[in-house]
Amino acid sequence: MSGEITLDMAAEKDALKVTRIIGKGKARLRLLQMGITPGTPIEVLRRAPLADPVEIAVRGAKLALRQAEAKNIAVVKEG
Amino acid sequence: MTKKSLSVDLVGNPNVGKSSLFNALTGAAQLIGNWCGKTTEACTTKVAYRGREISFTDLPGVYGFGHASRAETLVDKHLRADPPDVVLVIVDALNLERNLYLALEALERYGRVVVLLNKIDAAGEHGIVIDHARLAALLGIPVIPAVATGQLDAAALYEALFAVADREAAPAYTVPYPPAVEAAIAAAAAQSDRTGLARWRAVEAVEESDEELQVEIINARYAAAAALAARCLVHHPTESVTDKLDRWALHRIWGVPIMLVVFAALFYLTFSVSRPLSDLIGALFDWLTEASLTHLPAWGVPDLAVSLIAEGLLSGLGATLGFLPQIAMFFLVYHIIQDTGYIVRVAFLMDRVMTAIGLNGKIFIPLVAGYSCNVSGILASRILTSRYDRLVAVLASSYAPCSARLGVMVFMVSAFFPSGSATLVMLALLATSVAMMATVAFVARLVVTADDESSPFISEVPVYHLPDVKHLLLDTGARTLHFLKRIRNVIILSSIVVWYLSSFPAGPFENTYLARIGLALEPVGALFGLDWQLIVALIAGIPAKESALTTLGVIYQTTGDGGLANVLTSHISPLAAFTFLVVYMTYIPCLATVITIYQELRNWSVAIASVYGSILLSVLLGLLSYNIGKLFI
């Protein structure tokens, strides 16, 4: 998909949409079960002092995850 | 036909207030301090209701039943091995959509489900109002509202549980899956040699065999959850207090300084409240000791028994109980930072630093707590969900010089060093402690294989919430009493042992068994400049750290701190004193800590290994400190 980036590269406050989850097994299932599924709007709220972890907003909830985990979430800019 | 007894399993996302609820339902007294469900165990308690019995089982927090974490594997295995009559799904009203996902999955699997809509009070504060009657109607199962501290209409819940247990019919609601998924489900059901394979087992088979369809299934459940949430949310939230606070609390520049100020304030609070109470307890026991020494002989109690009671039991108990206020304050403070949701922010701020040595950001909490009291640090390690992280946190936090040790260190340092260099010496000791904790963490990382749970950090960032004061105080009181019960026997026993060793054979102190042990070890002590008196002080410090100082007072027969400082400085060189403190800071944490290590990990070999490891490390550091120091003096 054109314009697809992974979430660890995304700028803060951009309106994004999940396209797919990269990776396998437990790590992938964990992200899916927390509601990070294809088509879901997602936003990077802020990054920690050393740029890792990141805080994201998804499905009305806020989650903290590491850049290494954010790398597994492919997104596109919306609009 | 109404059942006489009912088994109910509690299922919910992490941090939905399941444990508070469990305690409220089953009577907190039995469970406080158990903190079960947080890690690996499931725990069960029975409740009597109108001549019938309900047994509740609390399970660890999960996001689904798909084995994405150890907790999920455990919950799924538990539910399969011992299917309950009813699954009680705890739903966080603050986060309806994601919590409904789990409720839908439970409903699909187990049919007999009751939803408990928790934290409706907190949700209300954030402008979220949920029409629970409508949710119940849409799902076709009872939905019972509750507030965050676990208060709810228990009778309504029990009635709902019995009603659902008696019901035969399938639930009214099923998740609509896309046609491709339905086809695969039908195919999976047909493939099974058993007729009438339950629908959920077919769904599960599809999920496990096809990643593409798995995404479709999860997406469909979430779409259903979102649609349900949209129909039941009466009012939508606006920009919250949490957003405003987090702009500062998680600020890239100010977040860490603010955190340090918060911790400093909490430490200050801990000490300013607990110190007067500790002094009071100390004074009470001093008075009791005095009183028994004066009055008991007059009542015809034999001298030996008087000595055992006054010098053994009372002084030993006094030394340990003096730390009870501090433990209580720890429980209070820990409860506050946990319940407000600040703990997650700390982990967020510190994670990158901690990952540098292979640890999780949350480990910062037990390590900091260890400086107040090692027992606190070990208990705080429970916030770590991975067994590996928890082990590292437990081992490392017992190397933080606790306030008992800090007290002795400050006394010795100010006695031996002029005020200018005293600060530097203290800082050097504290830096050593930080280096030790890092080393222990690093070594543990090499020795213990990290399980696959050690790395994921993904966690919710909950909204801030003011804890309920009454609940907070009751819980703190109960946890403190529970802690006291846990250590009581060992403290009494060790007080008697130390008393025996230091009183027999009768005569001058140099004759006692304790002194003889010290004298026997003197050749070893000489390697790092410790005389037998200091060795005896170290031994006496094993049950309770501050006893080291009181024992030195006994040996040198001094009264008051000033007297002891003078005697010590005339007997020992500053280098030997410094070396003593390095050893003192490192060797065996107090007995209460060792017991807590065992009780938290349920593993004697780790507890014993930690004792030997600390002795080894203290000898090494002592040798280094004394012999390097000698080169410069």
Listed by start position, the domains of chain B span 5-166, 179-235, 482-632
Distance separating alpha carbons of residues B276 and B279, to the nearest angstrom = 5
- Measured between CB atoms, does A57 come within 8 Å of chain B? no
Distance from CA of B458 to the nearest CA of A (A): 4
Domain ranges in chain A? 5-77
Taking only residues 100 to 139 of chain B, the set having a beta carbon closer than 8 angstroms to any beta carbon of chain A reads 101
Proportion of chain B above pLDDT 90, given as a percent: 29
Give the model's pLDDT for residue B37.
39
Order of strands across the sheet with B459-460? A5-6, A73-77, A16-21, A41-47, A54-58, A61-65, B459-460
* Lowest-pLDDT choice from A9-23, B453-467, B592-606: B453-467
pLDDT at B29: 42
The CATH architecture that domain B5-166 belongs to is 3-Layer(aba) Sandwich (3.40)
pLDDT of B511 strictly over 60? yes
C-beta of residue B392 within 8 angstroms of C-beta of residue B360: no
Count Cβ atoms below 10 Å from residue B376 Cβ, excluding itself: 31
Q: Is B209 on the interface with A (CB under 8 A)?
A: no
Residue B375 and residue B326 in contact, taking contact as beta carbons nearer than 8 Å = no
Give the three-class secondary structure for B333.
helix
Nearest by CB to residue A50, choosing from B67, B218, B352, is: B352
3-state class of B34 per DSSP?
A: coil
* pLDDT tens-place string over residues B202-227: 899 999 999 999 999 999 999 999 99
**Distance (Å, whole) CA A43 – CA A55:** 9
Q: How high is the pLDDT of residue B33?
A: 37
Nearest CA in chain B to A40: B219
CA distance B556 to B78: 61
Whether the CB of A3 is below 8 Å from some CB of chain B: the reply is no
b/e sequence A33-65, b meaning 16+ C-beta within 10 Å: bbbbbeebebbbbbbbbeebbbbbebbbbbbbb
Distance from CA of B414 to the nearest CA of A (A): 38
Q: Rounded to an integer, what is the distance from CA B389 to the centroid of its chain? A: 13
Mean pLDDT over the full length of chain B: 85
pLDDT of B323 over the 80 cut:
no
- For residues B349 and B360, what is the distance between their CA atoms, to the nearest angstrom? 11
Residue B303, number of CB atoms within 10 A of its CB: 10
Q: Which of A13, A17, A20, A29 to mutate to test the interface with B (most CBs of B within 10 A)?
A: A29
A34 vs B: CB within 8 A: yes
Q: Do B252 and A53 touch (CB under 8 A)?
A: no
Contact A49 B349 (CB under 8 A): yes
B349 in reach of chain A (CB within 8 A): yes
Task: For residue B348, give the nearest of A32, A39, A55 by CB distance.
Answer: A55
Q: Taking the mean position of all CA atoms in its chain, how far away is CA B396?
A: 14
Is residue B566's pLDDT more than 70?
yes
Contact B254/A at CB under 8 A: no
Taking residue B507's Cβ as centre, other Cβ atoms within 10 Å add up to 9
For position B382, what pLDDT does the model report?
81
Long-range contacts of B204-208 (CB under 8 A, 24+ apart): B206/B181, B207/B66
Compute the average pLDDT of residues B404-422: 85
Q: How confident is the model at residue B560 (pLDDT cuts 50, 70, 90)?
A: low
Distance in angstroms (rounded) separating the CA atoms of residues B406 and B419: 17
Q: Which chain B residue has its CA at the smallest distance from A56's CA?
A: B461
Chain B: closest CA distance from residue A71 (Å) = 13
B52 pairs with which residues across the strands?
A: B49
At position B353, the amino acid (one-letter code) is V
Strand A41-47 versus strand A54-58 pairing type: antiparallel
Question: With an 8 Å Cβ cutoff, is B10 touching chain A?
Answer: no
For Cα atoms B130, B131, B132, give the angle at the middle one, nearest 5 degrees.
Answer: 95
B 226-245 near A (Cβ less than 8 A) = 226
Q: What is the pLDDT of residue B170?
A: 63
Question: What CA–CA distance (Å, rounded) separates A36 from B218?
Answer: 10
Q: What is the ipTM of this complex?
A: 0.95
Calpha distance B372→B375 (Å, rounded): 9
* Domain A5-77 indexed as CATH 2.30.30.90: yes
